[in-house]
Structure 1
């Protein structure tokens, strides 16, 4: 969404396709539309119609390893030619799109021991690229401009993500006429209680909801007759406390 916002000035310019919905051979027809004589021929393809109507966009193929090989063949043509013909015979141009594909390839492999001067992230990158080559053909990978490997999140990363989440919460409360503030100890508490190399930032989202969003919602409901105008979050005795002003 941020990439779509930065490039095309709108998060609505993101087209997201979850590849877990395209695991069967017949799923190809959902991308470009059903051929003549098949059910759904009058309906446009999920991808081609969206790109035809919104040619400047970011296309996200989420978890590409789950897609059926025939779906990958369609994507190979898009990457190679920059256009594709849908079931209605219309040529859909992809030259003004940014195509992003995500994969969990190699995430199930152990990081192994760190030795010979190589970091754990370098070993993880090698394993991920090898796993990528197991389900993507060389000609497909050869047409990808860049393969980006994401390192595991550190506690500092978690802290920055927590700041963004609290910033979103602050903006939402400001729309309701409530000023929300917090101190550094709140960020430290959230990172300490939610940091996990295995589960990533989703743990942090659940912690923010449990420790802040739910208690704030409860306070707003309880003070219905006397609306709250200010809230301050701080850590006391290992727990987060909310002070209503």
Structure 2
């Protein structure tokens, strides 16, 4: 950016790939200089790097996430309280971010907390990836409903949402299954059924 000897990581990435999606995770923790840069991008649709080159952001989608008010969402009894929570979060955003920054954002979306069915859907998507990887080794893996329920329970934390799901799959599926494959229990062209039993996932 202006004042630097070389093109910055952000401007270089967008200059090379102008049709991009940029994600700023937990934007409330960003340095004030980052907000100054974002103001320029959101206002002018372009940014000047340290070499004086103007980089066009007009074809770039910018997504920013924030955990502001997440505790309010978790404390809500159910999604019927959404409107009241939204008003509190709007007030919190105005306390945290400058008006000129908020006014340049096209839309602010508040996500409700994840329900059990949402977690199960995420588990299915993640398990499909495991299944596809095993298909490349000619091993067919099938999960019954008990296995999906078990992983959804093990991988859900109200404070962290679906983030622990990946760790639960690694612990109860990938690591456990790898041991069985290495032990020679399953070979190519095997069909494996995964189900929950005794506080773990068993493969047969």
TM-score by length of 1: 0.76
Q: Please identify, of 230-239 and 179-188, the stretch whose mean Cα deviation from structure 2 is larger.
A: 230-239
Q: 2:140 aligns with which of 176, 179, 188?
A: 179
Of stretches 56-65 and 201-210 in structure 1, the one that deviates more from structure 2 is 201-210
CA distance in 2, matches of 1:114, 1:187: 26
* 2: CA distance, partners of 1:227 / 1:236: 25
**Cα 1:183–1:131, aligned 2, differ >3 Å: closer, same or farther?**
same
Is 1:167–2:119 an aligned residue pair?
no
Matched, 1:67 2:37: no
1:202-217 residue pairs with structure 2 within 5 A? 202-217=163-178
Is contact 1:220-1:228 (8 Å) kept?
Answer: no
Unaligned runs of 5+ in 1: 1-31, 36-40
1:104 matched to 2:78? The reply is no
Instruction: Show CA shifts across 1:137-191 (max 9, x none).
Output: 1111111110011110000100100110110110111112211111112112222
Q: Which blocks of at least 5 consecutive residues in structure 2 are unaligned?
A: none
Out of 93, 97, 101, which is 1:132 matched to?
Answer: 93
Q: What SS does the corresponding residue of 2:181 show, helix, strand or coil?
A: helix
Q: Equivalents in 2 of 1:68, 1:168: separation in Å?
A: 36
CA shift digits 1:81-125 (9 cap, x unpaired): 11111111111000011010111111245755769xx83333332
- Equivalent residue, structure 2, for 1:87: 50
Larger relative contact order (Cα-Cα within 8 Å, sequence gap ≥ 6) = 2
**Map of 1:240 onto structure 2:** 201
* Equivalent position of 2:82 in the other structure: 121
Q: State the distance in 2 between where 1:50 and 1:214 align.
A: 36
Question: What is the root-mean-square deviation in Å for CA atoms of aligned residues?
Answer: 2.4
Alignment match, 1:198: 159
SS at match of 2:47: strand
TM-score (norm 2): 0.90
Contact 1:83–1:91 (CA under 8 A) maintained in structure 2: yes
Residues 82 and 120 of structure 1, relative CA distance in 2, 3 Å threshold: same
Secondary structure of the structure 2 residue equivalent to 1:153: coil
C-alpha spacing 1:33/1:53, structure 2 compared with 1 (3 Å) = farther
